[in-house]
Amino acid sequence: MPYIVLIPALVLVAYVAASYYLYRRAFVPAKPRPLDDFTFTPFEFQADYEEVELVTADGVNFGAWHFRQPGSPQTVIVSGGHKGQRQGSLGISAGLWRKGFNVILYSYRGWPGSDRAPITFGIKEVLELEAVIAFARKRIPKARIGLLGYSMGAVVALLGAAGEPGVQALVLDSPFSDLRTVLEDNVRRSIKLPGAPVVWLAGLLFRLRTGCRLSQSSPITVLSSLEPRPLFFIHGGADDLVSVNHGRRLYDAYRGPREIWIVQGAPHTGAYEADRPLYVERVAGFFARHLGLDVSSHLRLVEEEEVS
């Protein structure tokens, strides 16, 4: 008789523990570390830049770097990934700056250099993006704005652009199509059990803590709001965190101008590392076409077999 009670109790404890672990892993920002301030900046790339401190509509303070191109209205805003730091996107940011773009690379809430707050996978992080867009319009005359996002940052870009018609083009590297779906996929892959119950309880904790629902982070539901702006989807063919099927699903669902580049063998957000020069050329070329920047003297010819 005790075993009849004990086994369900152990299952329940394991279920609650898995849900709490998922909640902490997904939605609670990492604790500050002593070396967070000892990092690379645009200075190491010999870029002309300024350090910017901004605040969101809900009062969150956060930092940004503005790579300056005086006289150029073409501007790319770069949104990083989940629990990343802005210096992780310095390479592509410097590459785009050298092509002639203004580039703004910013931190989310919960990142080093920003106020600590729960991670919401784009639901509230769009407020940081809105503040950056407002800064760009104030600082850069007649700014022509494109968005480049990685993983969660690609979702921030999609959700933010849906409410901001002034954004003219988007490059989306490794986005998920729906938060609940990608969480369930990862739970199922990690513990070999159905992910829905674990994600449901983690989502309940998330809602109690933030007032947000998982369903609010579902970029596939806002695609119609982006038409007819051009979207460029990039995904690693070996992505085991956000399956390439998410990128294909978004690409297939979008009815505006769209491109997709699947980099075979690349892991999550690994297309840049797979071939840095080619990545910069393709992203810069896309933004140049749609933001009206002549970078022909800087772009090398991309062979047909490279773009499959």
Within this chain, do residues 51 and 157 fall inside the same structural domain, yes or no? yes
Within this chain, do residues 107 and 77 fall inside the same structural domain, yes or no? yes
Distances 262 to 88, 103, 233, 244 between C-alpha atoms, Å: 21, 25, 8, 8
Residue 102 CA to residue 114 CA, distance in Å, equals: 22
Within this chain, do residues 203 and 167 fall inside the same structural domain, yes or no? no
In a domain, 241, yes or no: yes
105, 153, 127: which is closest to 61 by C-alpha?
127
- Pick from 216, 235, 263: which residue ends a domain? 216
Within this chain, do residues 66 and 159 fall inside the same structural domain, yes or no? yes
- Is residue 234 within 8 A of residue 173, CB to CB? The reply is yes
Within this chain, do residues 237 and 94 fall inside the same structural domain, yes or no? yes
pLDDT the model gives residue 110: 80
- Pick from 188, 216, 244: which residue ends a domain? 216
59: region left, alpha or beta (phi > 0 left; psi from -120 to 50 alpha): left
Within this chain, do residues 60 and 115 fall inside the same structural domain, yes or no? yes
Range(s) of the domain holding residue 84? 46-178+225-295
The string of pLDDT tens digits covering residues 197-251 is 999 999 999 999 999 999 999 999 999 999 999 999 999 999 999 999 999 999 9
Within this chain, do residues 12 and 158 fall inside the same structural domain, yes or no? no
Positions in the chain short of pLDDT 70: 1-3, 5-6, 33-38, 295-308
- Is residue 247 within 8 A of residue 233, CB to CB? The reply is yes
In a domain, 121, yes or no: yes
In a domain, 300, yes or no: no
- Is residue 186 within 8 A of residue 241, CB to CB? The reply is yes
In a domain, 123, yes or no: yes
Residue 166 CA to residue 154 CA, distance in Å, equals: 17
In a domain, 194, yes or no: yes
In a domain, 34, yes or no: no
Helix H or strand E segment including 138: helix 126-139
pLDDT the model gives residue 299: 46
Tally of domains in the chain: 2
Q: Which long-range contacts (CB under 8 A, 24 or more apart) does 111-116 make?
A: 111/29, 111/62, 111/83, 111/84, 111/85, 111/86, 112/32, 112/33, 112/36, 112/37, 112/85, 113/36, 113/62, 113/63, 113/86, 114/60, 114/61, 114/62, 114/63, 115/60, 115/61, 115/62, 116/29, 116/32
Domain with 266 in it: what CATH number? 3.40.50.1820
- Pick from 190, 216, 242: which residue ends a domain? 216
Indicate the angle between helix axes 196-210 and 179-191, nearest 10 degrees.
130
Within this chain, do residues 6 and 118 fall inside the same structural domain, yes or no? no
Residue 151 CA to residue 176 CA, distance in Å, equals: 7
